[in-house]
Amino acid sequence: MIDDFNAFQSAFNQQSMQVFSDNGLGTLWLKLKSIMRSDCIQGFAQQSGLTLSDRPLKDKFRAIFTMFKTDVPRGHALLDAFLRHQHAVQLRMLDEEAIIAELYKLQYYAWGGDYQNSLDRFLVTKYIKHPFYTYDELCRNLDTDIKQAVRGYLLNSWYNHWSSIVIEHIFKAHPGVLPTVGQIKGVDFFLANIPFDLKITYFPSEFMKLCRQQRGLPPEITYLKQQARRLSLRFDSQQSEAGQLQQITARLKDLPEQGGSEVLRTLSTQRREILAQTQQNPQPLLRWLYEHQGERRFGAENRLFLILVDSEDFSRSWELKRNIAWIRPQINAYLDACLQELGQRIMPLDFSFAQQHYHVLTDALFLVK
């Protein structure tokens, strides 16, 4: 079993998080890592009655870890008390109701980037390296398409950031959860002394496409185009896939005949069946979520996925992220159950990424409305 400071540092750098999931000394190392800022470590020393020499931060990290190796339970007790105290201070400074009120001002969720959430890649691909763009065309697009892309990216990034902060604090405020208070890659909190990173997302459209393919069904957009043509409905095929889907769906809803509602009912039934199947067996989705990360955002840490789904209209699932009154009791109920039967809830998962193999602990909490 690893018990050396350098070995833990190396495992952390290589994202070998299994080392920290089944090792009390490893968890202690992570907790110390999470407070390695000058103000934090000084506050910890004062609260814990420790005397720290005037040395660089990395040397203090090593010195405290070496000291606690001789009494690991004491180290955990002191660190847990400090982390809970610091989180209580953070909570008092967080005006949750004001944040939620601001989040409700966003009326339209239109992402201004490519599928990997990269605005710069989207702009370079579509405008800068586009073979037909002239200087004048680019300038004209600055006030139209590019402006809308930047606006969408900015507003949605703001919405995701602040809604995630509020939801993350719901997890951290639970009495059975130990919060982190500093920025530490891949760890938001400890659940039964196991480090976890929280990921809040929606049911992925690409995973839905994969599930439909496995059932012998065409992609949703292909199905809707087929039905639109059958019903002689015109649509703009030059729009993005999301735009076409939204346009055809709106036209089908407005059809006076029964045909439009029948198409939408069929699509809704298929979505609900796939959702129910995934809830019953989330492992394929969890593996897909790990294996389809963007390279720049890759992580092999233990993760808890909070998956928000509006079963009436999947495209409006983003609105649920600010419905904190609805989210909070479900998170708390999940954590209560999780702490009672952790071994049954948290599942080991093996996955591959960029020809490397990883082992993690993970679970999915589906909140469906």
In a domain, 287, yes or no: no
Same domain, 182 and 249: no
Angle in degrees, 0-180, between the axes of helices 5-13 and 24-34, rounded to the nearest 10: 70
**Domain identity same for 199 and 299:** yes
pLDDT along the chain (369 residues), means of 10: 84 85 87 90 90 82 92 95 94 94 90 60 76 79 82 90 96 95 88 94 95 96 93 86 87 86 94 97 96 83 96 93 98 94 84 89 96
195 and 322 assigned to the same domain = yes
Indicate if 163 and 299 belong to the same structural domain. yes
Please tell me whether residues 326 and 268 are part of one structural domain.
Answer: no
Whether residue 282 is contained in a domain is answered as no
Q: Which tens digits make up the pLDDT trace of 91-125?
A: 999 999 999 999 999 998 876 555 455 677 777 77
Q: Say if 284 falls within a structural domain.
A: no
Cα distances from 242 to residues 221, 238, 368, in angstroms, run: 8, 11, 22
Q: Is residue 286 part of a domain?
A: no
DSSP 319-362: GGGG-HHHHHHHHHHHHHHHHHSHHHHSEEEEEEETTEEEEEEE
How many domains does the structure of the chain reveal? 3
Can you state the percent helix, strand and coil of the chain, rounding each to 5? 60, 10, 30
197 and 304 in a single domain? The answer is yes
Residue 107 within any structural domain of the chain: yes
On whether residue 316 sits in a domain, the answer given is: yes
* In a shared domain, residues 198 and 113: yes
Same domain, 230 and 119: no
**In a 3-state reduction of DSSP, which class is residue 25?**
helix
Coil, strand or helix at 187: coil
The pLDDT value given to residue 115: 44
Instruction: Indicate whether 231 and 303 sit together in one domain.
Output: no
Same domain, yes or no: 109 and 196: yes
Q: Tell whether 26 and 69 lie within a shared domain.
A: yes
C-alpha to C-alpha distance for 53 and 133, rounded to whole angstroms = 61
Out of 43, 68, 93, a domain closes at: 93
Out of 65, 93, 121, a domain closes at 93
Name the residue range of residue 234's domain: 214-272
pTM of the complete model? 0.89
What is the H or E stretch that residue 52 is in? Answer: none
Is 315 part of any domain? yes
pLDDT tens digits along 47-103: 999 888 777 888 889 999 999 999 999 999 999 999 999 999 999 999 999 999 999
In whole angstroms, give the CA distance from residue 89 to residue 51. 23
For the chain, state the CA radius of gyration.
24
**How distant is the alpha carbon of residue 30 from its chain centre?**
21
Quote the DSSP letter at residue 54.
S
Domain boundary among 93, 118, 153: 93
277 domain-assigned: no
Query: Is the separation of the CB atoms in 188 and 147 below 8 Å?
Result: no
Q: Do residue 175 and residue 54 come from a single domain?
A: no
- Would you state the structure tokens that stand for residue 155, as one six-digit string? 């507003």
pLDDT of amino acid 102: 97
Q: What is the DSSP string of 246-277?
A: HHHHHHHHH-SSHHHHHHHHHHHHHHHHHHHH
